[in-house]
Amino acid sequence: MKADWNTVLATAETLKEYRAGVETRDKDLGAFLHFSPSVSTEAGNPDSASAVSRLPIAIKDNLAVTDFPLTCGSRLLEHFTSPYDATAIERLKAAGASIVGKTAMDEFGMGSATDTSALSETKNPWDTSRTAGGSSGGSAAAVAAGMVPVSLGSDTGGSVRQPASFCGVYGLKPTYGAVSRFGLVAYASSLDTVGVIADTPDRLEAVFSVIAGEDAKDQTSIAAFSPGQPPVAPADLSSLRVGILRADEGDEPGVREAMTRVEDVFRTAGTEAETVTLPFLEYASAVYYTIATAEAGANLARFDGIRYGERPLYAENPDELVRLSRSAGLGDEVKLRILLGTYVLRSGFHDQYYGRAQRLRARIRQAMQDLFSRFDLLVSPVFPTLAFRLGRDGLTPYQRKQADRYTTVANLAGVPALAVPTGVHDGLPAGVQITGRMGGDYALIAVAKALHQALPPAAPATYPRIWS
C-alpha cells in the first residue's frame, strides 16, 4: 500500500523516510540542486484548493523561493539566495503546499538537456545514459522518479513540455500571462511562461488553478483565470474537432508511433480528426532563436557582478569588473546566445533579423488563430526524437535548436500547450503535444484527462512509486 503524497511531510518520522527515499534516488539522477523538506502541518487557506495542501513540490531553480538558492544553473549565481517568493510560490504556500527543493536546469533556461548547467546535469529516470531533457530537466526527472508529485518549471520555447515528454509525465505551458512571471528570472520576456509538470492531469490542474490569475506585480498577467476554479471533467472526445499535425518523415519511429496511438484513441472515440499543415512551421525555430536571443541579450545585462553575480577580487575599473564577472561566470551556451542576441539587434542588422522575425511571428500567430477557428485542438509531436543520449552520441547543440520547431510555435503565438505521455517505445517514454486556443488551458487539461484514461502512463521500472 503506497502512502499518500499529502502525508509524507506530516511528522518528523515520515519526513525522515521521505528525505532518505529522495536522497537515494537522486544520487544517480541529479534532479535536485537543493533539497530541504520540512515538516508541514500547515493546512493552508481553506478557500484554496485543498488538493495541494501539504503536497511536496519541487521548483525549477529560476523561480524565487525565500531563503532558497536561486542559481538558474549558473556559476555566476551559485551563492545567491532569494529574499522573496515569486507570485506562483506565494500562492502555493498560501494554499498549504510545501516547497521541498530547487531543481537542476540548463543555465538560465538555455538548452534542451540540462547539460549547459554549470551545477548539475540531470539523467533520465528511464535510462540514466540519456538526458532528462531541458531546460526544466530536473523538475521533470523529479516527478518521473517519484520524488515529488508536481513541480514547477519555466517554458520559453519548450522547456517544460520537452523534458516532461522525455520523462513520461505531463507538462503544461500555460497561455502567455496566465501565470504571473513575477519572481521568474527573465530569459525572453515575451515568450517566458511558468509551467507545471505532474504525474497526473488532476494534480497538474490542482496546482495550475492555484498559481494562475492576474497579479499586480506582472503587467502582462491576464484576468481570464480566477483562483479556485473547480476541476474540469475529462473531455468528451467524440465532440472534439481535432487537427493532426503529422510527424516529419525524419522524426524518430517512437515519435511517429506516439502520434498513431493517439490517433487510434480518437478514431475509437469517434473524434472528428483531420490532418493539417501549419504554415510557416519551417521558420519557427529561426524566428524563436532570433527573438529569444535578442531579448536574452537585454535581460541578462543585469548579471554584471555589481547588481547580481559573483565578481572578481580585483578589477582596474567598473567596466573591467563587469567584463571579468560575465566572462568568468557565464557558460558557453549563454555567451553564444548573448552574442547572437546582441548582433541581431545592432543597427544595420536589425531589419535583416529581428524585424523579419517579428513579422513572421505575426504570421505564425495568425496561422494559429485560423487553425483554431476550425479546430478545438491541435495534436503534434513534442520533439523529433525521444530522450537522446548524453554526451557526444546525443544531438549537437545546432541540431537541438532546429528540433525545437514543434514547441516554439506555442510560445510565439502565446497559446497553451500540454505534453501528454502516451506509452513506452523501446524502454523510453513517448508522447504527444496538444495545443489549444488562447485561454483554453482548462480545455487542454480536460483532453489530457480523457487521454489519461485511455492511455494511462507507466512509471520507470527502476523507480517504482513509493508514494501516490
Looking at the Cβ atoms of 379 and 413, the one nearer to other proteins is: 413
189 is catalytic: no
What is the C-alpha separation between 106 and 333, in angstroms, rounded? Answer: 9
Phi, psi of 402 (to 5 degrees): -65, -30
Of 54-62, 87-95, 180-188, 283-291: span binding other proteins (CB under 8 A): 283-291
State yes or no: residue 363 binds other proteins (CB under 8 A): yes
135 is catalytic: yes
Cα–Cα separations (whole angstroms), residue 417 to 42, 155, 190, 333, 405: 33, 10, 16, 26, 13
- The residue among 110, 160, 123 whose CA lies nearest residue 139 is 160
Exposure class string for 217-244: b at 16+ Cβ within 10 A, else e: ebeebbeebebebeebebbebeebebbb
Of 39-47, 142-150, 153-161, 279-287: span binding other proteins (CB under 8 A): 279-287
Q: Which helix (H) or strand (E) is 424 found in, with range?
A: strand 417-425
Residue 464: count of CB within 10 angstroms of its CB: 10
Fill in the DSSP letter of residue 50.
G
| Interface mask toward other proteins for 434-453; x: CB under 8 A | ----x---------------
Residues paired with residue 434 on neighbouring β-strands, in sequence order: 379, 418
Cα–Cα separations (whole angstroms), residue 440 to 204, 364, 377, 422: 15, 18, 10, 21
Looking at the Cβ atoms of 156 and 200, the one nearer to other proteins is: 156
Contacting other proteins (CB under 8 A), which of 359, 456, 461, 462? 359
Contacting other proteins (CB under 8 A), which of 19, 75, 350, 356? 356
- Is residue 367 within 8 A of residue 232, CB to CB? The reply is no
Catalytic residue among 60, 123, 401, 449: 60
State yes or no: residue 230 binds other proteins (CB under 8 A): no
| Interface mask toward other proteins for 137-176; x: CB under 8 A | ---------------------------------------x
Of 30-38, 45-53, 244-252, 330-338: span binding other proteins (CB under 8 A): 330-338
- Positions touching other proteins (CB under 8 A) are 81, 83-84, 176-177, 190-191, 219-220, 222, 280, 282-283, 285-287, 289-290, 297, 301, 304, 311, 314-319, 321-324, 326-327, 330, 332, 335-336, 338-340, 342-344, 346, 352-353, 355-363, 365-366, 397-398, 401-402, 412-414, 438
